[in-house]
Amino acid sequence: MTIGIFGAGHMGSAMIKGWLRSEAILPQELLVRGGRRGTAQALQKELNFKLTDDNHAFLEQDIIFLAVNTPLILPILNDLKEILQDKIIPIVSVSAGVSVKEMQAVMGDHYPLAQAIPNTPVQINQGMTGIVYSENITLKNKELIQRNFNYLGELVEITEDKIGIFGTLAGCGPAFVDVFMEALSDGAVLNGMDREMAYHVAANMVASSANLLLETGKHPGELKDGVTSPGGTTIKGITALEKEGFRYATINAIDTIMKS
């Protein structure tokens, strides 16, 4: 298995780290073309994958990923179309701004394409990725794409009209959770806990609470009710959150992104 990837920014780097961390992909099986900022070169010194500045090198890859800024997707595809000619190598964009239909307009309706929206936990093989496939993709190419994302965490197939909300929830959500954990830790520090311990406890609590929901399949409200004793400390804390509009602020954050 050989993987080619354009881009080693936040998402590209996360995917590269995840593949190599999985040990299913070896450094010599990973070809990266970086940009002008030098992030790919710096990461290559750490992880020892192959670097290139020649798009023709992607002719030898089994699959190609595009992890670059949205304005670069179509120009790269135009270049790859000329280079690949009759060779068929599945191409996956991880940019939210270019649809499969727009990619097909360049590569043709027959070409195996996908648009995927991963989130940054792919770097520790615990990512959540939504994916849309081109209409005429073969089962063989679809399975190849799925296998590479399965190394990075969970993959779910979605329709093109849902990719925006998926990206907002799964892609922006980690930042919301990070802010929440930081605020929880600030509250703990305010009350005497040292910072390192506060971050550790908050992160562990969030992770284990999420796993409890996933493993039990219970409604979040039911799990919340199991912690909130009548007149107890937890319900007092929840009341304080509600007073400050915690739920509305969270819903509004998602809605604001979708309307922007």
**CATH code of residue 218:** 1.10.3730.10
Pair (48, 136) in one structural domain: yes
| Angle, CA 223 vertex, CA 220 and CA 228 arms, to 5° | 120
Pair (20, 100) in one structural domain: yes
Known binding residues for NADPH: 55
Pair (23, 101) in one structural domain: yes
The candidate with the shortest Cα–Cα distance to 131, out of 122, 75, 106, 123, is: 122
Handedness of CA 174, 178, 184, 185 (dihedral sign): positive
The pLDDT, as a whole number, for residue 35 is: 81
Handedness of CA 166, 172, 176, 178 (dihedral sign): positive
Q: Position 19: which residue type? A: W
Known binding residues: 55
The pLDDT, as a whole number, for residue 229 is: 96
The pLDDT, as a whole number, for residue 2 is: 97
Write down which residue in 158, 181, 212 finishes a domain: 158
Strand residue runs (E) in 119-247: 127-133, 153-157
The candidate with the shortest Cα–Cα distance to 13, out of 37, 89, 1, is: 37
Pair (136, 90) in one structural domain: yes
Q: What span, in angstroms and rounded, lies between the C-alpha atoms of 73 and 67?
A: 8
What is the total residue count of the chain? 260
Q: Domain of 30: which CATH number?
A: 3.40.50.720
Pair (75, 178) in one structural domain: no
Write down which residue in 158, 180, 213 finishes a domain: 158
For residue 213, what are its two tokens? 């929901």
For residue 138, what are its two tokens? 């073969």
Q: What are phi and psi of 125, to 5 degrees?
A: 65, 25
Write down which residue in 123, 139, 158 finishes a domain: 158
**Number of compact structural domains in the chain:** 2
Pair (137, 49) in one structural domain: yes
Pair (181, 101) in one structural domain: no
| Angle, CA 155 vertex, CA 151 and CA 161 arms, to 5° | 150
The candidate with the shortest Cα–Cα distance to 22, out of 101, 127, 115, is: 127
Pair (100, 175) in one structural domain: no
pTM of the shown model: 0.93
For residue 86, what are its two tokens? 């009759």
The parent domain of residue 245 ranges over 166-258
Pair (184, 153) in one structural domain: no
Pair (121, 193) in one structural domain: no
Pair (96, 55) in one structural domain: yes
Pair (170, 45) in one structural domain: no
Burial class (CB within 10 angstroms; exposed 0-12, middle 13-18, buried 19+) of 159 = exposed
Q: What is the pLDDT along the chain (260 residues), one digit of tens a residue?
A: 999 999 999 999 999 999 999 999 999 999 999 987 889 999 999 999 999 999 999 999 999 999 999 999 999 999 999 999 889 999 999 998 899 999 999 999 999 999 999 999 999 999 999 999 999 999 999 999 999 999 999 999 999 999 999 999 999 999 999 999 999 999 999 999 999 999 999 999 999 999 999 999 999 999 999 999 999 999 999 999 999 999 999 999 999 999 99
